[in-house]
Structure 1
């Protein structure tokens, strides 16, 4: 056996499975082409018989049709057997070889025509054989071609398959077995004559159950929901079919000649049909249970004045709707003072219960939140009636008695009194005279109780209207008066929210009153949040209105100073809240009074009204250097934006006015022009400003003062370089020089702070003023870091403040790293970003 023969045999052995599959595929193709008429005839005949062809056709026609179908079937079968031939292995190999490029199987079985004795030619031939063997090893069996459009151009096979599928879905296959009876001469009922019937059971739509076809129900007993509709339709003579049932107590009158009957299932019973095809069933009615509803949680209040009800409902098929009805429960009220008289009749308050938007409504729980603070029932005992209804019209109901309907609580004494008068007036108009009298007592000394003059005038107008109609007060006037009293109470309770200090005082007063009245945890939480918000607003206003450098060279007339931070205030408020949660109200009140005293001692310093006297030269110098540093930072930011726009014109620009410096005004550039010339002019003006500040720098006789002057000279040198680079249009180098200038300015300010701190030891009268200057107005660098009393940045910050500064620095560093990693940015910008990263690394 030659090497070529062994290679070919080994290749064919590896291709045994693809060859077998290919052979089966060819056989399937030939079988489909040969026998498609056979199954077409069989499927068509079965479909025709399933749809009642045996019953519809006369005996002769039926026999003739079956005979023709049989002859056609035999012819198709014989013709198919004659055409069908099982494929050989060679045919399979030929088909498989045709799917590969170069027909490698044929090449493996070939022999060289020339060069058999030439060693080089033989080597080339063997290499070719091995390449063909490798290609043949990748062979995969091709898919068989089962298309018949060339033999069945009209799609008869598809028509037969569709008819058979419809017979399975809608026909009756057992009618096929009746063909023998029909051929034997059994009497056939005409399709349109003779008594026959059809019936359906349709459950109510809300049950979600399917309809039933009575003719196909073979069980003697089955279940249907209550209210199901049974429809019977009679074909032929109606008198020949009798329908009896016990599903209704009263059998509805029907016309004996009617061909249709309808029965509503009202109870379990029997249904019997007599006639040509008698049937009977025992039908069990599934009762529709009534829905149930109840409160899942106690009714609670949601500050400031909303009511929260959580209810749970259940039904076997689902809830359609629900209502909450509130009625006054006067028997449970404290019938004293304004509630001693009989209440006027009031319509019930009806609220729609919320239902689930998604999912089933068979069993669920929902929450109703409604603001009822202005309703006459608020804060009074009520009866709560919850009602739900299902689709069958059945209702479920529960009644809950509430000792007090939650409403808004007023902690201002006068506001609370006005609300009580409003409640008494809405309880009964008989209280009009009493309410007017009490309001006169409240307004007797308005300067003591009414800080808001508008509220006072509103209450006086209410008194006049009540006294004018005390004998015949109309319902419309009563409601208008109640609305005025509500607005006046709100104004007294909330006060002028535009005044931060007044809002803070009012929040403290309301919290103290809430503790005395035993307010709920939710109300305490709301009042604590109001106190926090008021505290933040007040501290912000304090910071915004404090004059820079509040300290002076003169000694503090008060003899003492206090420094408060928001962290310390927040810690005090947290402690107050903890004491209240623990029920230690007396201690909480003491701490609240201490907090109030501390806030009262803090004053907002208006411009030009410094209580500590004129500012010192050191303070003025430090303020000037701060302004220069901010201006330099704003100028550097503008240069960086211009650098970005030069290489990325589509980048978004910040809004006007956000440069963050006052140097724009000093430089005369009101419009914020972005060309290099304007930037150079602004840099030159900053340099002149720095020179004037350096000439009047205090503390030059000390080592720290000389160090501060050297740093300012270094800053001036960097500014001069930045001017030259800006005039040349080299923004990247200018940014480096501006950064050096800012660093030198910071170092100079730190040295100046040390020099001023050294002066404090020599002059006690000035030490406190200078120390207070840094305590009251902490310095900040462009990254938001605060300076301590010595001027060193970050030296005396709290842990939280330092953590915030570190976080902001990390964010800035991450942003620089992200931009430096974007290689599509201009090279000059990438160089600048790398230098920034190097500077960060040095500082760390």
Structure 2
């Protein structure tokens, strides 16, 4: 009987391909582990040669380093050959067998030792062999283990690979040939092979343009003015010579120095004479001066005097700074009354133009926002001239723009008179006696409602006495004039803004007195008198409401809509008061009391709906929106600093992301959630990330950090401007908001200093502190605004008795087949309180790890947005 064929031989014949691949993997694995120091040293040496480091070092240093590199390659090669063991076929078979469960190949090589003569035992053994053969037939090649973390714990191989990649990108293979010139006798070799040359053109750094290798250029080269040309001649001195007319120097003599450096200042020719010489026509592109213009169509002035003046600027390589100068147009001033005398000398108003925090500055549109209401030239003719500068120091100016200096308007007659006299006093100190006389005249025996507050009247009298005393003593000096002017401004604001609150208090007091009189059974004459007081107080309150609507809605269409609304509310109130008086005359005091309560409720509702019907945003809302944008920008800077820190410790792990974060608030690029920058992010942020990537990589290692520091400085300056423009907020919450924003500014300054010192870890800590302070300031500011808008603390979501209750977002329940309402969300007096509660709830839920990943991702996006 023929011997049974070994099943292992049969199976290995069938597994020839995976076995060969596994064996090849073993060879690669042992080669890498044995010889990785060799190719690391070779890669570092090649990188140094291609980058031209040998041209910057002495002969002895270069050849000393070359000898060390050669000895290292030889030593590591000998050690590698000693360590290397060529894998055998059995080792490959064992590696393949280990990768399969049950080691089927080893099982196929086994022989039955017990029970070979027993039929049952033999059948069981055959079934086992068949199962192992089926499992072995599914074998796949085993991947080699090429990890070297144990042999190379410091990552030297990655450093060598990075250096080689940098050399391939920014160096030249031909530059490695210059080392031959340093060989003893190399000069003879150079004479045999002939002289050679190389050169580069480096545009100014602010242009962001790449360097040009001269040998790769055509006959005509266009470069910016100020570009640096570097030439090097190799071989016998005098074999190659240079003629050039681009630097403005002499063109008579040939230049044969081995190394040439000069700047391109004009269009001309560049020629290299000698073996392998070439010539070029160099065209110097002049750096155009920046331009700026005033955009008149979108200019506006808020009711509080805040000016918003758009402008557009452009430059071929980018605008770096700008300013606005307002000059008094004395020829256009109406020289009457207090303006008839010669004005005191005053410097023009100089303001810094806001620049984009991030993004392309070659062409952009921004808005100059400032409040100049307290300046002596308020509402007087001025000439506005904008000026911008580029990185080359060139400046551009706009055409003179004639305008009246935007400022706050005062509608109250007494307030307007006080502000006018303040302007005359600031115009010239010679007007001091006249101002005191006019103010004394307009305030003499005030009648009617000229002064609705004794406090305002007394303050005016005190100001008049102080002004007269200062004038009669040694004359009014500049400090005393400014003190009186500030007091007059505060008085004017009190007279203008204090009327509405005073009128509301008088109306409420009249309502309470009338209600008490009806409860206590007062006479008809007393009730009639109190009813007339209520009518007068209501009329005065409505009139002040109308003036407030005019201040906050200067457009004509808004004035008409506000006037119509006031007329309708006034008619409703008059009808209701007539009904109350009729009920009292009939002796139906219980019904009159109920009607009076309805009247009070109607006045409260009118107070609520008045703010909701206005167009635009209040100063507080604008400030909150600006702070939210600043927070998103700070988040973006912090995210990019964190990526840069990761790049330092793990090169290539975040490749491509940090560059695309320009201007964003926290994600890649400038995007929606971090905003804009697809938000401005979105707008320009992505372009900035793509367009600026090459420039940042081409710069030194300080490029990214320097850019971050500049953006951090610009963001800090923007926060300081926002702090100065915050609305007046009282109470503990308002004070806490101002303190928190001040801490945020200090933290931003610390982050800026850390970025300039390349301390990314310290910068991230300061940025986190700044973001936390910003969030705290916004929360406190929202509380202060909510307290101002809703002193009683009662929200609107409670509804009226018998009506459906609103949900936490302020939405009413639907009626009929409608599930909900189409009304806007989060409107009303307690909008900031409810917004804060919702934000706290989102933060709470985002920290609960048990929630689904989809919900946590959605909550994270909400937090990034708000």
Instruction: Tell me the residue number matched to 1:710.
Output: none
1:324 to 2:324 alignment: yes
Instruction: Tell me the residue number matched to 2:451.
Output: 450
Alignment of 1:465-544 (within 5 A): 465=467, 469=471, 474-495=477-498, 501-502=504-505, 508-513=542-547, 520-521=554-555
Equivalent-residue separation in structure 2 for 1:451 and 1:45 (angstroms): 89
Candidates 558, 564, 567, aligned match of 2:598: 564
Alignment of 1:366-765 (within 5 A): 366-429=366-429, 431-446=431-446, 448=448, 449-464=450-465, 465=467, 469=471, 474-495=477-498, 501-502=504-505, 508-513=542-547, 520-521=554-555, 555-556=589-590, 561-564=595-598, 568-569=602-603, 572=606
Q: What is the SS of the residue equivalent to 1:188?
A: helix
Q: CA deviation at 1:162?
A: 11
Maintained 8 Å contact 2:245/2:251? no
Maintained 8 Å contact 2:429/2:476? yes
Instruction: Tell me the residue number matched to 1:291.
Output: 290
Maintained 8 Å contact 2:240/2:256? no
Maintained 8 Å contact 2:237/2:257? yes
Instruction: Tell me the residue number matched to 1:19.
Output: 19
Alignment of 1:170-185 (within 5 A): 172=173
Two-structure CA RMSD over aligned residues (Å): 6.6
Q: CA deviation at 1:120?
A: 2.0
Equivalent-residue separation in structure 1 for 2:203 and 2:235 (angstroms): 27
Q: 1:426 to 1:33 in 2, by over 3 A?
A: closer
Instruction: Tell me the residue number matched to 1:139.
Output: 139
Q: What is the SS of the residue equivalent to 1:311?
A: strand
Q: 1:46 to 1:376 in 2, by over 3 A?
A: closer
Equivalent-residue separation in structure 2 for 1:487 and 1:528 (angstroms): 28
Equivalent-residue separation in structure 2 for 1:107 and 1:284 (angstroms): 80
Q: CA deviation at 1:414?
A: 0.7
Cα deviations across residues 49-72 of structure 1 (Å, max 9, x unaligned)?
99999xx99xxxxxxx9xx99xx9
Instruction: Tell me the residue number matched to 1:747.
Output: none
Q: CA deviation at 1:410?
A: 1.7
Maintained 8 Å contact 2:553/2:614? no
Q: CA deviation at 1:324?
A: 0.6
Q: What is the SS of the residue equivalent to 1:322?
A: strand
Equivalent-residue separation in structure 2 for 1:159 and 1:379 (angstroms): 66
Equivalent-residue separation in structure 1 for 2:33 and 2:550 (angstroms): 99
1:226 to 2:225 alignment: yes
Maintained 8 Å contact 2:384/2:403? no
Q: CA deviation at 1:231?
A: 4.4
Q: CA deviation at 1:382?
A: 1.5
Instruction: Tell me the residue number matched to 1:350.
Output: 350
Equivalent-residue separation in structure 1 for 2:307 and 2:23 (angstroms): 81
Q: What is the SS of the residue equivalent to 2:18?
A: helix
Count of equivalent residues: 559
Equivalent-residue separation in structure 1 for 2:47 and 2:202 (angstroms): 29
Equivalent-residue separation in structure 2 for 1:576 and 1:84 (angstroms): 90
Q: CA deviation at 1:167?
A: 9.1
Maintained 8 Å contact 1:411/1:514? no
Equivalent-residue separation in structure 2 for 1:173 and 1:146 (angstroms): 33
Q: 1:524 to 1:175 in 2, by over 3 A?
A: closer
Equivalent-residue separation in structure 1 for 2:554 and 2:19 (angstroms): 86
**Which is greater in Rg?**
1
Q: 1:12 to 1:489 in 2, by over 3 A?
A: same
Q: What is the SS of the residue equivalent to 2:189?
A: coil
Equivalent-residue separation in structure 1 for 2:408 and 2:392 (angstroms): 40
Equivalent-residue separation in structure 1 for 2:809 and 2:359 (angstroms): 48
Q: CA deviation at 1:44?
A: 12
Equivalent-residue separation in structure 1 for 2:494 and 2:178 (angstroms): 92
Q: CA deviation at 1:100?
A: 4.2
Q: CA deviation at 1:406?
A: 1.9
Cα deviations across residues 381-402 of structure 1 (Å, max 9, x unaligned)?
2211111110111112113534
Equivalent-residue separation in structure 2 for 1:562 and 1:85 (angstroms): 106
Question: What is the TM-score of this pair, normalised by structure 2?
Answer: 0.50
Equivalent-residue separation in structure 2 for 1:558 and 1:166 (angstroms): 90
Cα deviations across residues 203-260 of structure 1 (Å, max 9, x unaligned)?
222112234455x445433232111233456789987765432214454999989876
Q: 1:18 to 1:414 in 2, by over 3 A?
A: same
Maintained 8 Å contact 2:315/2:362? yes
Cα deviations across residues 385-430 of structure 1 (Å, max 9, x unaligned)?
1111101111121135344222112222111111122223333445
Instruction: Tell me the residue number matched to 1:266.
Output: 265
Q: What is the SS of the residue equivalent to 2:311?
A: strand
Cα deviations across residues 670-708 of structure 1 (Å, max 9, x unaligned)?
xxxxxxxxxxxxxxxxxxxxxxxxxxxxxxxxxxxxxxx
Maintained 8 Å contact 2:303/2:552? no
Equivalent-residue separation in structure 2 for 1:418 and 1:316 (angstroms): 50
Instruction: Tell me the residue number matched to 1:115.
Output: 115
Q: CA deviation at 1:43?
A: 10
1:315 to 2:318 alignment: no
Q: CA deviation at 1:349?
A: 0.3
5+ residue gaps, structure 1, are 58-64, 150-156, 536-552, 582-779, 788-793, 812-817, 819-844
Cα deviations across residues 343-367 of structure 1 (Å, max 9, x unaligned)?
5543210001111222232222222
Equivalent-residue separation in structure 1 for 2:219 and 2:809 (angstroms): 81
Equivalent-residue separation in structure 2 for 1:512 and 1:562 (angstroms): 24
Q: Which stretch of the first structure deviates more once superposed, 299-308 or 382-391?
A: 299-308
Instruction: Tell me the residue number matched to 2:207.
Output: 207
Q: Which stretch of the first structure deviates more once superposed, 4-13 or 108-117?
A: 4-13
Q: What is the SS of the residue equivalent to 1:125?
A: helix
5+ residue gaps, structure 2, are 60-66, 150-156, 508-536, 570-586, 616-793, 814-819, 821-833, 835-840, 842-866
Q: What is the SS of the residue equivalent to 1:446?
A: coil
Q: 1:444 to 1:17 in 2, by over 3 A?
A: same
Q: 1:99 to 1:459 in 2, by over 3 A?
A: closer
Q: What is the SS of the residue equivalent to 1:143?
A: coil
Q: CA deviation at 1:488?
A: 1.6
Maintained 8 Å contact 2:433/2:471? no
Equivalent-residue separation in structure 1 for 2:552 and 2:162 (angstroms): 80
Question: What is the TM-score of this pair, normalised by structure 1?
Answer: 0.51
Q: 1:523 to 1:461 in 2, by over 3 A?
A: farther
Equivalent-residue separation in structure 2 for 1:162 and 1:502 (angstroms): 76
Q: 1:567 to 1:87 in 2, by over 3 A?
A: farther
Equivalent-residue separation in structure 2 for 1:299 and 1:41 (angstroms): 65
Q: What is the SS of the residue equivalent to 1:247?
A: coil
